[in-house]
Amino acid sequence: MTAPSRISVVIPTKDGADTIGDVLERIFGQQHAFEVDVVVVDSGSRDRTLELVRRFPVRLEQIAPHEYNHGATRNFAIERTRGDLVMLLTQDALPADDRLLANLAVPFEDARVAGVFGRQIARSDCDVVRRRQLENWLTGRLAPARAQLDGVDLDSLPPLERYERCVFDNVCSAVRRSVWERIPFARIPFGEDVAWGRTVLEAGFAIAYEPSAAVIHSHRRPIAEEYRRERLSHRTLSERFGIAMVPRRRDVFRGVLWGVQTEVPYVWRNAPRGGERWRQLARILGLAFAIPLGQHHGFVDAQRARREPGD
């Protein structure tokens, strides 16, 4: 196919002053052969985010906090871009080098590719458990990969394989505009990327993973926020793929026990000594409870939604 002449970049923001300036500086420092336009959609920042964004030649859109939706807000932003390809970043996904845009565009040389997602590299302050999870997950692989169905019925696959086939991650991704115009992101509170991945695969397209397109990205969120995200995530995974990691109340206890027996010793062996080790131990103990509980409640939410279609 003809190489794209323009790439657009979309970044949703809210209270991202700690990172957005560095992210935009690296975006505008990229080496590439494209025209680039950048759209930032802010949903109610109260810190210096807007001040920092206005230092760059971007189109800034502002929406009310209650209007933000993972899928709909990205659609809103893409509608205001002009690129043949649209790159999607989060406000804290820092391009690892100056070839991110160029490398993310390469798989689109195959006209069948609808979307590409890139590699995530943990930040230097990432705790040892999260670092291991990132490196072992599909967004941490060192080799390129490609997903397509070619006649395979997704529903005939085991739930986890079904999900892994459809993985797409809007922390760092790009979509082909012509496909997005046919298949926009779903208006859902979480998991708009994997839902889109499933839909485009079922429509006959392919998704590519390109590790040379890398961002530095990881979190040390409060335990309550980790619980909330785990709950939302596992509602989506149950609804879309039939995944049930912690379906019963007694499975929560088993999950907690596994976390205490497995992850606590791992932190003790691998975390830096001193105060940082104790901070990571305290965090992993909190997560040992929050994660299985969030997974269980997400599954329960999905079951309740099935019984109450109007929910």
Long-range (24+ apart) CB contacts under 8 A made by 54-59 are 55/21, 55/24, 56/24, 56/25, 56/28, 57/28, 58/24
For residue 215, the 8-state DSSP code is E
57 neighbors 179 (Cβ within 8 angstroms): no
pLDDT score of 2: 58
Long-range (24+ apart) CB contacts under 8 A made by 192-195 are 192/70, 192/71, 192/74, 193/117, 193/168, 193/169, 194/163, 194/166, 194/167, 194/168, 194/236, 194/237, 194/240, 195/71, 195/236, 195/240
Cβ neighbours of 80 (radius 10 Å): 13
Judge whether 1 lies within some domain: no
Q: Both 211 and 232 in a single domain?
A: no
Q: Both 44 and 173 in a single domain?
A: yes
pLDDT score of 311: 44
The residue type at 214: A
Distance CA 245, CA 248 (A): 9
pLDDT score of 143: 96
Axis-axis angle for helices 223-241, 275-307 (nearest 10): 40
Positions in the chain whose pLDDT score sits under 50: 311
Judge whether 291 lies within some domain: yes
pLDDT score of 310: 53
Judge whether 311 lies within some domain: no
Judge whether 105 lies within some domain: yes
The residue type at 92: D
CATH of the domain at 29: 3.90.550.10
Q: Both 205 and 245 in a single domain?
A: no
Q: Which of 197, 216, 235 lies at the terminal end of a domain, its last residue?
A: 216
Q: What's the domain range around 255?
A: 223-306
Q: What predicted TM-score, i.e. pTM, was given to this entire model?
A: 0.91
- Model pLDDT for residues 247-258, shown as the tens digit of each residue: 999 999 999 999
Q: Which of 160, 190, 216 lies at the terminal end of a domain, its last residue?
A: 216
Distance CA 130, CA 60 (A): 33
pLDDT score of 257: 96
Number of domains comprising the chain: 2
C-alpha dihedral over 168, 170, 174, 178, to 10 degrees? 80
